[in-house]
A = this chain, B = another copy of it.
Amino acid sequence: MNPGAKGTGTNGPGARGPLGVAAIGYAFMGKAHSNAWRNVASFFDVPAIEQKVLVGRDAGQVADAAAKYGWAESATDWREVIARDDIHIVDICAPGWMHAEIAIAALEAGKHVLVEKPLANTLAEAEAMNAAAAAARTRGVQSMVGFNYRRVPALALARELIAEGRVGTVRHVRAAYLQDWLADEQAPMTWRLRKETAGSGALGDIASHAVDQVLFLLGGQVTEVTGRLQTFVNRRPGPDGPEDVTVDDAAWATLTLASGAIASVETSRVATGQKNSLRLEIYGDKGSIHFDLENLNELGFQDATAPAREQGLRRILVTEPDHPYLDAWWPQGHIIGWEHTFTHQIRDFLTAIQAGSQPSPSFEEGLNVQYILNAVEESAATKSALVHVADRTSKGA
């Protein structure tokens, strides 16, 4: 049993004992999610959980990974695992094209589901998942999509400040997510660079986080968008010679919110020197907010209601007990790592399960991001002209 487990959920599956967890996938995301499952109860009061099974395709590798990452068992057949009575939660860290099938099956089997973003590779899959989630919810089965950056303490604080009116009415947002792992034109071909397997490039992979942040921080709906996509390196070395890259290296979009605010979103995987830079700037009539994921323990805040003589962008080191999630960690000034965005995500997921409430972001919220990204692609395909999003979103509601 997981150390420190205390509470017992009162709703949904597993109501009378520890919640058994199965995770599917043991690569980058599987490692990060496992770390969160292993540690969440050491820092937060959460319902009792057990790290039951890690699922993967290669029996030997998944057994090693399970041992290393704290899982009691490993398995290779996810269908068998979701059929088990002692599994109450399914955490899907497999690639995007597998999300729909596993998530729908798990929800139908009565398991709470956490699925990595993006919700799915296609709108049709995402809509089916959303429908399955809505149906499951009526039976007390919860679901959540893993936009983990909502759980960066600095961004949770940003949302609070904005909600409290500290920046006033938001006029515009500058969002960018910049990486550089494709800057080298000799970087090899991967499944992430093929439209069939990846859905899209930088847009779906990382700009999706930026779009989700716009929604998370400001609330409301995106009504229309413009978009541009660009592939700078069209062919990359494959095992048998050069192959065509069929997704975007970079993308540019503008989003109109129902409130009248406008957000620009820019993303690139060829932004040399930018390693994992999700940057957000929110400009309101009373203040502004600045953030960069490479310094995720800091938030910039300018209070424009202060006298001009002493105004300035202040660097808030988000490590105080008063800051979101921080009372669980270390004394002030002791920073936490990127991986704990997942720890916080699981804490909130478990807390919602315990309370019998819908965790956020829901599959519907994940679908909403998909609609927006789809509209960006549609705009890009039609000379970047404005595309309305509103009508389509209502379909998903």
**Which residues of A does B touch, CB under 8 Å?**
3-4, 28, 32, 34-35, 38-39, 41-42, 66-71, 157, 161, 166-167, 171-172, 174, 176, 179-181, 183-185, 226, 228, 230, 232, 249-250, 252, 254, 260, 262, 264, 266, 268, 270-277, 281, 283-288, 293-296, 299-304, 307-317, 319-323, 330-340, 382-386
Bound together, the chains give a CA A273 to CA B332 distance in angstroms of: 11
Bound together, the chains give a CA A71 to CA B4 distance in angstroms of: 10
Identify the closest chain B residue to A71 (Cβ). B3
Quick one: which of A41, A322, A332, A338 has the most chain B CB within 10 A?
A338
Instruction: Please pick, from B273, B323, B386, the residue contacting A383 in the complex, using a CB distance under 8 A.
Output: B386
Contact B309 A284 (CB under 8 A): no
B contact residues around A38 at 8 Å (CB): 3, 38-39, 42
Bound together, the chains give a CA A42 to CA B69 distance in angstroms of: 5
Bound together, the chains give a CA A180 to CA B300 distance in angstroms of: 17
Closest 8 CB pairs of A and B: A276-B333, A275-B333, A337-B337, A4-B68, A312-B314, A273-B302, A314-B314, A312-B316
Contact B273 A310 (CB under 8 A): no
Identify the closest chain B residue to A249 (Cβ). B171
Chain B's nearest CB lies how many Å from the CB of A259? 11
Contact B288 A172 (CB under 8 A): no
Contact B252 A264 (CB under 8 A): yes
Chain B's nearest CB lies how many Å from the CB of A293? 8
B contact residues around A4 at 8 Å (CB): 67-70
Identify the closest chain B residue to A268 (Cβ). B172
Chain B's nearest CB lies how many Å from the CB of A106? 24
Known contacts A42-B68, A161-B310, A334-B276; decide if A271 and B172 are in contact (CB<8 Å): yes
Chain B's nearest CB lies how many Å from the CB of A264? 5
B contact residues around A228 at 8 Å (CB): 226, 254, 262
Known contacts A157-B309, A266-B174, A334-B338; decide if A41 and B28 are in contact (CB<8 Å): no
Instruction: Please pick, from B276, B331, B337, the residue contacting A331 in the complex, using a CB distance under 8 A.
Output: B276
Contact A322 B334 (CB under 8 A): no
Copies of this subunit: 4
Identify the closest chain B residue to A385 (Cβ). B385
Bound together, the chains give a CA A139 to CA B107 distance in angstroms of: 59
Bound together, the chains give a CA A302 to CA B312 distance in angstroms of: 10
B contact residues around A321 at 8 Å (CB): 308
Chain B's nearest CB lies how many Å from the CB of A254? 5
Bound together, the chains give a CA A227 to CA B271 distance in angstroms of: 23
B contact residues around A310 at 8 Å (CB): 161, 166, 301, 303, 314, 316
Q: A3-B38, A307-B322, A309-B320 are in contact. List 5 more A-B contacts (CB 8 A).
A: A34-B42, A230-B262, A275-B332, A294-B317, A314-B315
B contact residues around A42 at 8 Å (CB): 34-35, 38, 68-70
Chain B's nearest CB lies how many Å from the CB of A222? 14
Identify the closest chain B residue to A161 (Cβ). B310
Chain B's nearest CB lies how many Å from the CB of A326? 10
Contact A272 B287 (CB under 8 A): yes
Instruction: Please pick, from B304, B319, B383, the residue contacting A272 in the complex, using a CB distance under 8 A.
Output: B304
Chain B's nearest CB lies how many Å from the CB of A320? 5
Chain B's nearest CB lies how many Å from the CB of A331? 7
Quick one: which of A4, A42, A271 has the most chain B CB within 10 A?
A42
Bound together, the chains give a CA A312 to CA B297 distance in angstroms of: 12
Contact B262 A181 (CB under 8 A): no
Chain B's nearest CB lies how many Å from the CB of A53? 13
Instruction: Please pick, from B252, B303, B337, the residue contacting A254 in the complex, using a CB distance under 8 A.
Output: B252
Known contacts A67-B3, A272-B286; decide if A316 and B322 are in contact (CB<8 Å): no
